[in-house]
Amino acid sequence: MSFVIAMAGKGGTGKTTVAGMFLRYLVEHGKTPVLAVDADANSNLNEVLGLTVDATVGGAREEMKKGGSMVDMTKDQLIEMRINQCLVEADGFDLLAMGQPEGPGCYCAANHLVAHFMEVLAKNYPYILMDNEAGMEHMSRLTTNRVDLLVLVSDPSWRGIQAARRLKDLAQALKIVVGRPVLIVNRVTNGLSPKTQSEIEVQGLELAGFIPEDPLIADFDSQGRPTYTLPPDSPALQAGYAICARLLT
């Protein structure tokens, strides 16, 4: 059974960047192969990782709807083949992007395909890392239905901390199996303020640690460079690795 890590948080917290740090830690510490799942319809985990995605789950589903079935192959077999064709192979991990269906419509079907084939693919990967879309929609659509480690990423604001608590509560209300929900506060300047620390305690969240504001990340983003390749002396990366070491060893 794979160990499933799911990233969640409101938009603008740097959740996908933190997901890249977790993935890099897993790869560099030999916890491979890892299945990285970009479960955001507006996929951009590949940009953090420096990879090109040519095929997505959403696109595969649209192709299935238009193309019908193939001789000597059931619909499930054909879908599984298409999903495997969507995998982007990299050093120590594979990436699967949900993408989005063509034109207007609900993302539920693509979400269900991701959830189903995560189960199918799980036997091949000791770790699965899911980068979910911002907000709560991915949970209400049950993209994430079994999680060993739910990583709630927030900025230092009260609203961010409260949003993280709501995500934790929603996971419990939807009966998503969560082994351990933890909070990471990202983009912190001069440490956590006493008020922020107090708010974390009031909201009943387990603080796994915080990641400092790092100008290197903004510099990489402005140049279109993947933050997955941050240098080892990056303060943000060092803090992220320290958190990973506490959570994943």
pLDDT at residue number 244: 98
Instruction: Using DSSP bridges, classify how beta strands 146-154 and 177-188 pair: parallel, antiparallel or unpaired.
Output: parallel
Domains of the chain, CATH where assigned: 3-248 (3.40.50.300)
pLDDT at residue number 1: 79
Residue among 5, 1, 12 nearest 182 (CA): 5
pLDDT at residue number 97: 86
Q: How far, rounded to the nearest angstrom, does the alpha carbon of residue 54 sit from its chain's CA centroid?
A: 19
State the amino acid at position 134 in one-letter form. Answer: A
Tokens for 65? 């709807």
Residues of the chain with pLDDT under 50: 102, 142
Residues 6+ apart with CB under 8 A from 47: 226
Task: Give dist(CA 177, CA 174) in Å, integer.
Answer: 9
pLDDT at residue number 132: 85
Question: Would you put residue 142 in left (φ > 0), alpha (ψ -120 to 50) or beta?
Answer: left
pLDDT at residue number 147: 87
pLDDT at residue number 45: 94
| Residue 222, SS3 per DSSP | helix
Whether the CB-CB separation of 247 and 208 falls below 8 Å is answered with yes
Output the pTM of the full model: 0.88
Whether the CB-CB separation of 174 and 142 falls below 8 Å is answered with yes
Whether the CB-CB separation of 22 and 7 falls below 8 Å is answered with yes
Hunting for tokens 């983003």 — which residue is that? 221
| Residue 14, SS3 per DSSP | coil
Tokens for 83? 């999903």
Instruction: Using DSSP bridges, classify how beta strands 146-154 and 3-8 pair: parallel, antiparallel or unpaired.
Output: parallel
pLDDT at residue number 150: 93
